[in-house]
Amino acid sequence: MSDLAHHLRDPGDGAERPVDSPLPFRYVYVARSRRSGGLSLGVDLTPQGHCSFSCVYCQASHPPVSNPDLTVDTERLRDELLRKLRADAAGELRDVVLAGSGEPTSVPNAPAAFDAVRQACDEAGFRLPRRIYTNARHLANPSVFDALVAWTAAGGELWVKLDATRPEAFEAINGRRFDAASHLAGIWRLAQAAPIGVQTMLLQGPSLPTPADLALDVAEAIAAARAQGAQIREVHVVTLSRVPSDPRSASVLRAVDADGLAALGAMIASRGGVPVRTFPSR
Ligand code: SF4
């Protein structure tokens, strides 16, 4: 096993948190990723587990923290990234991915953190994809919106979570009730300014809309957005692959089987007019 592949974590598990690990990396971790086809260098800007969603399927824990200081130490982030990138002598890393155990755009200095990632990749000569995965809840913040557009202008990819389109479905799946129309408008405004990918989770569980209804809602929203100039490069349709951190969710949620997922993916591709890849449960 290479040096890099020691201490592999699951994507979404986040970096080793200082409270439970003496290891020296706070923001950066290495994960094996099906979507990248190899090793991903994960960047977790919220090692405290802070997230503005509370998805029913989330495998990361989100311990309550009162008045957390979410500011990212960008010098440390840059240093950790450089150390991991330079340790990749065998060229095993397929991408750098901002994801982890919370929402990367929720930190107060997200634009500076994105810059630090970009600078470290450039300094290390890392030319493979750099990707931000976001739940899109902070697009109304102009500094976040502009930083995401700048990220794509510098060659980075954006992947936006879209599991629902209706308020009650957002609440059931993403654990938050908000103005769904404004949320969607923010996503499509971003997609008019910069190309995005969409990732959609389809799963089965009590009190959840059916996967078929959700897939249809997403397909129609994408078609309508594209007609208004939204640039949607690809949709990734995923289903439950890892055990949710919430025990009740873990006991009742079920993945969509591979054939069902493929059929729903084909429907989204046809109605939405976009390329779709599906990722069945492992
Ligand atoms: S957006 Fe959802 S899945 Fe992602 S970290 Fe937050 S709660 Fe978990």
Instruction: Assign residue 226 a region (left: φ > 0; alpha: ψ between -120 and 50; beta: otherwise).
Output: alpha
Is the CB of 61 within 6 Å of ligand 1?
no
In this predicted structure, what is the pLDDT of residue 73? Answer: 95
Is the CB of 46 within 6 Å of ligand 1?
no
**Can you name the residues that pair with 198 across neighbouring β-strands?**
160, 235
Is the CB of 103 within 6 Å of ligand 1?
yes
Q: What is the rounded average pLDDT of the residues 153-167?
A: 98
How many A from CA of 266 to the centre of ligand 1? 25
In this predicted structure, what is the pLDDT of residue 12? Answer: 46
Between β-strands 254-255 and 203-204, what pairing exists: parallel, antiparallel or unpaired?
A: antiparallel
Is the CB of 151 within 6 Å of ligand 1?
no
**pLDDT reading at 18 higher than 50:** no
**Nearest CA owner, ligand 1 atom 3:** 58
- C-alpha span between 258 and 104 (Å, rounded): 30
Consecutive H or E run containing 191: helix 180-193
**Nearest CA owner, ligand 1 atom 8:** 58
**Nearest CA owner, ligand 1 atom 2:** 55
Q: What is the rounded average pLDDT of the residues 49-67?
A: 86
pTM here is: 0.92
Query: Domain locations in the chain?
Result: 28-279
**pLDDT reading at 225 higher than 60:** yes
CATH code at 28-279: 3.20.20.70
Q: What is the rounded average pLDDT of the residues 44-63?
A: 90
How many A from CA of 164 to the centre of ligand 1? 14
Strands (E), 44-181: 93-98, 130-134, 157-161
**pLDDT reading at 14 higher than 80:** no
- C-alpha span between 235 and 86 (Å, rounded): 32
